[in-house]
Amino acid sequence: MAENTSAPSNRFPPQIPYIIGNEACERFSFYGMRNILTVFFIDYLLRTQVPESGAREAQAKGLFHLFMAGVYFFPLIGGYLADRFFGKFQTIFALSLVYCAGHACLAIFENNATGFYTGLTLIAIGSGGIKPCVSAMVGDQFTQSNSHLVKKVFAIFYWTINFGSFFASLFVPLLMTKFGPSVAFGVPGILMFVATVIFWAGRKHYILVPPTGPNPHSFLKVVFSAFKKDAPRGGHWLDRAKAAHPAEAVEGVKAVFRVAGLMLPFIPFFWMLFDQKASTWVVQARAMDPHVGGIVFQPSQMQFINPLLVMMLIPFLTAIVYPAFQRMGWELTPLRRMPMGLVFGAVSFVIAGFFQVVMNGGTTLNIAWQLLPYIVLTVGEILVSTTGLEFAYTQAPREMKGTVQSVWLVTNTLANVAVAIAAALNVFTGAGQFFFYAGMALVAAVGMALVARRFVVHDYFQTDAKAPLDGRTPAVGAKPA
């Protein structure tokens, strides 16, 4: 008897552990190398090229944020290739091999700038390219019958990201201190290889949405058609394209514009703050007393606080805080959480800015003081990032899920380009840079809250069976291998 795919289910699909295991190892590899980059630039690669410490710190921050901009630009390409031509599995596996090659370059070329930058480029391509595919592939394992589990699985998915990040942040800086950059970059490379093997091992179990192939009703073609046609009176400007494209294609493009209109003007201001914990906050920590009790903390090691807090706070917020607000009659919907997260991010930078004022006055603060802004920033991260990851997936129809995930991720590219430019110009120094970014985030929070009031939520989930790996279409109700 065929399985009833419409019956409600409270069990996660059995293939989810492969994706989660892959994500944990991949995130260790990424954050392991990412979190030591600023210190590596300052203390190793740029030491002889830029002798003056202030200029070297500014250049290190600029290089770091340019790399991060690349990491979050390549989702546009990875999502497009997966959606249109190769499918998510093939795209993730191929780019994971590129990713591994990039890690190898970092470990081999620690003293060669050209080789090292080549490795960073390969990691940006690999890591960035798989980002929209992995998160969208998680959602693809669910249908209407178990769509109520999507919120939980994305919370677990984000918890897993921080599980890998926690151990990477805690141990990789110690590896660089004790064994040097080659070992410190080599260990994350090994974890990326393990991540690739885990993902490949689940190849027979995944439920895959096949690529659409060259699409005559793609996003750009629908937009171009809309500009060519006369507008129907009183309709949406994209409705002009309905003469040349089916209604569902036009609705898909509308979904992309809806999400982009909400995300792109405001979310980058949060990432401007958040990604500076690996650059500006590390530079601040270098001027602090590193002794906490009998432990000496490395400046880049303090980043372990963020993923540790995320793992603790996600269950607390999802199981206790959000339901409590719902019982009080004021549900913390995604459209309320994200502006609130921007406010928390701004407050964290105000706190760090006051620390800098004190330090500029001649007082040496203990590095443990950074715990306070990390707590506030982490609450903001959960409100913005966990929510946005889920929201971007649910607000896109099947054909546009990878594209909308890329829109969400490219908000980080815009943020890091802006911070890289600011670092290169070296306009904001000392406490001023903290208060500047905090002010922009507060303005963005107000703007997003106003736009969110007019946003119409439209959830999309998979409603039918999907093709297995070999591309054959399963019979209705059939259970994929």
| Helix axes of 247-263 and 401-425: crossing angle, nearest 10 degrees | 30
**Cα-Cα-Cα-Cα dihedral of 445, 447, 448, 449, to 10°?**
80
Alpha helices in 45-180 (DSSP H): 53-73, 75-81, 87-108, 113-140, 150-179
Ranges of the chain with pLDDT below 70: 1-9, 144-147, 229-234, 402, 461-481
What number of other Cβ atoms are within 10 A of residue 61's Cβ? 26
Instruction: Count CA within 13 A, CB hemisphere, residue 106.
Output: 33
Inter-residue contact 282 to 298 (CB < 8 Å)? no
**pLDDT, mean over the chain:** 86
Inter-residue contact 31 to 164 (CB < 8 Å)? yes
Q: What is the pTM of this model?
A: 0.84
Inter-residue contact 341 to 387 (CB < 8 Å)? yes
Label each residue of 329-348 as H, E or C: CCCCCHHHHHHHHHHHHHHH
**Which pLDDT does position 168 carry in this prediction?**
95
**Which pLDDT does position 232 carry in this prediction?**
57
Q: At a CB cut-off of 8 Å and minimum separation 6, what does 111 contact?
A: none
Given the structure tokens 């339901």, which residue do they identify? 323
**Which pLDDT does position 230 carry in this prediction?**
65
**Which pLDDT does position 428 carry in this prediction?**
76
Q: Alpha carbon of 249 to those of 275, 396, 461: distances in Å?
A: 35, 11, 16
Q: Residue 234 region, left (φ>0) first, then alpha (ψ -120 to 50), else beta?
A: left
**Which pLDDT does position 473 carry in this prediction?**
32
Could you tell me how many helices (H) and strands (E) the chain has, helices first? 19, 2
Q: Alpha carbon of 71 to those of 122, 129, 287, 296, 412: distances in Å?
A: 10, 8, 29, 31, 9
Determine the straight-line distance between the first and last CA of the chain, rounded to whole angstroms. 16
What does the longest C-alpha to C-alpha distance in the chain come to?
77
Torsional sign, CA 333, 336, 339, 344: negative
